[in-house]
Amino acid sequence: MSKAAVNFHDFAPEQDSFLEEVVEGLSQYPKKISPKFFYDKRGSELFDEICAQPEYYPTQTEVDILHKHAEDIAQHVESDCVMVDLGSGTSEKARVLLDAIKPAGYLGVDISKDFLLDATQRLADDFPWLDVHAVCTDFSQQLELPDDFDDQQKLAFFPGSSIGNFEPDGALNLLKRVAGAVGEGGKLLIGVDLKKDEEILVSAYNDAAGVTEDFNLNLLQRMQDELQAEVDMDSFSHRAFYNDERGRMEMHLVSDCDQKIGIGDDEFLFSKDESIHTESSHKYHVDEFAELALKTNFVVEEVWTDVEQLFSVQLLKVKALAA
């Protein structure tokens, strides 16, 4: 049985250098490494485990919202729209909406070419009526889309609260980039994690099984394996806490003693309790995110939440351009 066709569009930029960015990040004060480097094969597997932990509410809460409101979401978009799945991954959350929305086309957008091609092929096989495209690009830096659907409404889909991993200026720039890509009348369906009781947030990033700890520490393992870094894995600890002033969860790798990390000819000194900042995850009140959206070319059209107000799925629309 022949496979359904997937249209591939390669807009991938040059690969970021793990070595260069780690050296640059460890040379700063405070030290930091981008969370995009969490996701080697092992890191991706660990993140999937995190999503299954009872303390980690975002994934299942968002999926429940999508299931409950799929038909309502479909009423807000045109019947022949095109879904642009940003950071599509396994496309699992998009699958929740496809039968309700019945888009004319699906564009899976991801930077990992092999993973993208595999996931979109499975999607095409499972939804033979759907025109499936795979777009390999780093949408955090650029968002170039194929011109196959220029005359159709575009619905960008950005689930998972990933917008929270961007600093406010970076989130603004990303939203502007998406608005430009979907064009006037285009829409964005986005997952936004909400501000809530601090204990719930802290528990989500410090699960009892220690999976998030392993996920954070795996960054050091990757440095050992790929960069031949001289680092004592046992002398760093996972720390995740809520920064109330900045409205975000932060993850750090904290040095348990005075020590150093060696990478090639470079040495990076750590004092006891000094850390590497590995991730931020900003949380928003609904009105705060609406204000952020208004600074771009988006306006919030609809918001769906769970009963406990833990998480939101928000529909944004590009404002009409001045004549």
Residue 255 CA neighbour count, 13 Å, CB half: 19
Express each pLDDT in 162-194 by its tens digit.
Answer: 999 999 999 999 999 999 999 989 999 999 999
Report the amino acid identity of residue 126: D
Q: Residue 82 in contact with residue 229, Cβ under 8 Å?
A: no
CA atoms within 13 A on the CB side of 207: 20
User: Average pLDDT, whole number, for the chain?
Assistant: 93
pLDDT tens digit string along 210-235?
A: 999 999 999 999 999 999 999 999 99
Identify the band that residue 145 occupies on the pLDDT scale cut at 50, 70 and 90: confident
Q: How many angstroms separate the first and last alpha carbons of the chain?
A: 52
- Contacts with 321 (C-beta within 8 Å, 6 or more apart), sequence order: 184, 297
DSSP 66: H
Q: 54-197+283-318, what's its fold?
A: Rossmann fold (3.40.50)
Using the predicted structure, report yes or no on whether residue 13 has a pLDDT greater than 70. no
Lowest mean pLDDT among 29-33, 180-184, 303-307, 309-313: 180-184
What residue type is assigned to position 85 of the chain? D
Q: 233: helix, coil or strand? A: helix
Q: Which helix (H) or strand (E) holds 294?
A: helix 286-294
